[in-house]
Amino acid sequence: MYLNEYYKWHDMVGVIENLVAISDRVYRSEVIGYSRSGRPLLLLTITEPSTPDTAKSGIWVDGDMHPGGVLGSTACLNLAARLVQGWSKDRRIQELLIHKVFYILPRWCVDAVDTYLTTPYYPRGNNSVAYEVAGLIFLEDIDGDGIIREMRVPNPAGAWRISTLDSRLMVPRQPGDSGPFYDLFPEGRYHTHAKTEFDSFVDLNRNFPYQFVTSYSSGPNPLSEPETAAVAQFIRSHPNIGLALSLHTWAGVILTPFANPEDSLTSGDQILYDYIAQVAKDTLGYPCIPGWKFSPAALGSRAGTFVDWLYQECGVLAMAVELWEPLRKAGVVSNYVDPMIPRSEQENKKFLDWLTDNIPNAVRSWRPFHHPDLGMVEIGGINRKFALENPPPNSRLLQDEVEHFISFVLKLAEGLPLVRLVDCKMNWLDHHQIELQLTVKNTGYWPTSVTKRAESILPPVTVTIRYADNIQTKWEVGNLDGYGVEHLLDWISGNGSSFRAIGRCRASCRYRIRLPSNYGGPLKIVSSSPRAGLHRYTLHIKKC
C-alpha cells in the first residue's frame, strides 16, 4: 500500500479507516481535540497492544501544521501504512512495535488544507481564510487557470528585465541595462485598503508557551487555539514521548532547538542532535542546523514554536523536518542555503530547466492578459504549490521523498531507550530472609530520559519488588546512559595508551528481604522508566 496523493479531509479520513481495517489490532485512531470549525483532530496510535502504549517509549510525528506543507500528511499516512503492513512480515517493524509506540497526527490544519488543495489560494494559518497580501496586491487567480503565478507590468522605471538566457526568467535590473523594464507582482487584485480577513488566522507554530510573543499571527495567548491546546494536553499526559518530528516544507533541512540564538541546549544534549545530523545525512541527504540559523531574516517572527516548547518544557528530543528541497535536487545548491535568498541568473536558469524537465506544467511562459485593475499585463512563472512547496502528486519525486523520510524515522526510533532487568540472583540467608542481586541495564542507544533536559522533569528508572500483592521495596536507579551516549574521559598513560571511561548504562544492587514464615510463591520485579519502557520479571520462590 503506497499513498501517492495529497488528500482532502474526507479522503484522508477514508485512508485512516482503511488502515484500521487491515491493522491486526496494532493500530487505532482517536480524536484528541477539534478545530475551530469542529473537525476532529485524528491521532493514530500504532503499537503491539498487549502492553499499554504509555508503558513504552514513544515517538511523535505530525504533519500539515501549515496548510501549504501537505507533503507532511502524505508522509505521515505512508509511515502509518508501512508500520501496519510491516507488523505481519517485517521483523524490524515487529521489534519496534513490541517495544515502542508511534503517535502520528497526520494533519493539524484540518480546516485550511482543503482550501489549499481545492482552490488557488495559500492559507497560512489554522482557518480556511485564503487571503495573502503582497503590498497592495491580494493574491488571486486572475486568469482562471487554477494557479496563482506572477504578473509583470511594463514600466520604464521598473526594477526587472527579461533574462537574456531564458525569456521565461525575470532578473533584477542593473545600471546600464537595456529595456524593456517591468514591475513584478504576485498574481492578484490591486486594493488600496486591507482586508480584515487576513488578520483572522493564527500560525499554530507561533502559539506555544515557550518564548511566546504576541504578533499578528501568534494568537492572543499561548495555546489559545483549539488545535495547539489539544496537542499540548496530549503530550503533557504522555511523558513516554521522548522523540518528536514535526514535518514542514520546503527547505530540505532538519531544524533543532532553538529559534532564538540566545537559548542553548542543556549540557550533554548536543551529542544527541549530532547523531540525528548523521542519520539525516545518511537517509534524507539533509543537513541539521539550529532553528535560529534558518532564514535569519525571519528570526524575530519565530517565537512560540512547537519544537522549542517540546524540548524546553517537556524535555523531548524534538526537531522540525523541512522535507523537499527542489533547489538541491536541481543541483543549484549542494547543501542547505536559505531558499528565499536571491540566486544568480545562471542558477535560476538551471532551476527553471530542471523544473521543465522533471515536473510537467511547473513553469508557464508569459501570456498577455487584460487585468481589471492594472490594464494590460503578462502572467506566467512557477506553480508554487506543487513545484516549490511540495513535489507533484503521483510522482516519483513524491515517492522518493516519502521513502527517505520513513528510513529516517525508523532509524531514529530504533535508538530509543529500553530498560531491562538483565540479571537476577537469589540466595537464602536463613529461613525467613533472602538476598537479591539485581542488575538493570538500558539496552537502547539513547539515555533512559532521552535528553539531559528531561532529567529534571521526569522521574528516574525505578525497580519495584512485590510479593503477596504488597510493595516490599522500591529502588530508584536514576537515569541510565545508552550505549551510544558515552561520556568519555580520555587520558594518556605513561606508555602512551589511551583509556576511556564509559557512561553508566547499567546499575546493580543487593537487597535483603524478610519473607513471611514458610512463604512460597512469586516475587514480582518490575523495572520501569517513563521513556524507556517497562520490564516485568517473576522469580518463583520455593519454601525453604
Q: Is 167 left (phi over 0), alpha (psi -120 to 50) or beta?
A: alpha
Across 207-310, the runs of DSSP E, i.e. the strands, are 241-249, 253-256, 288-290
Question: First vs last Cα of the chain: how many Å apart?
Answer: 59
The residue with cell 521526569 is 458
Instruction: Assess whether 476 carries a catalytic annotation.
Output: no
- Rounded to whole angstroms, the Cα distance separating 487 from 268 reads 9
Q: Catalytic residue among 389, 435, 455, 476, which?
A: 389
Rounded (5°) CA angle 511-512-514: 140
Dihedral of CA atoms 35, 72, 235, 479 in degrees, nearest 10, equals: 180
CA 263 to chain CA centroid, Å, is 20
- Rounded to whole angstroms, the Cα distance separating 235 from 214 reads 23
DSSP 8-state class, residue 385: I
Contacts of 449 (CB under 8 A, 6+ apart): 242, 315, 417, 455, 458, 460, 479, 529, 530, 531
SS3 331: coil
Q: Identify whether 250 is preceded by a cis peptide bond (ω within 30 of 0).
A: yes
Residues paired with residue 288 on neighbouring β-strands, in sequence order: 254
106: nearest Cα among 62, 66, 71, 45: 62
341: number of Cβ within 10 Å: 9
Stretch (H or E) spanning 170: strand 170-172
Stretch (H or E) spanning 395: none
Single-letter residue type at 472? Q
User: Would you state the cell numbers that stand for residue 44, as one nine-digit string?
Assistant: 493514530
Strand pairing category for 433-442 and 419-428: antiparallel
- Rounded to whole angstroms, the Cα distance separating 502 from 417 reads 17
Catalytically active residues, by annotation: 389
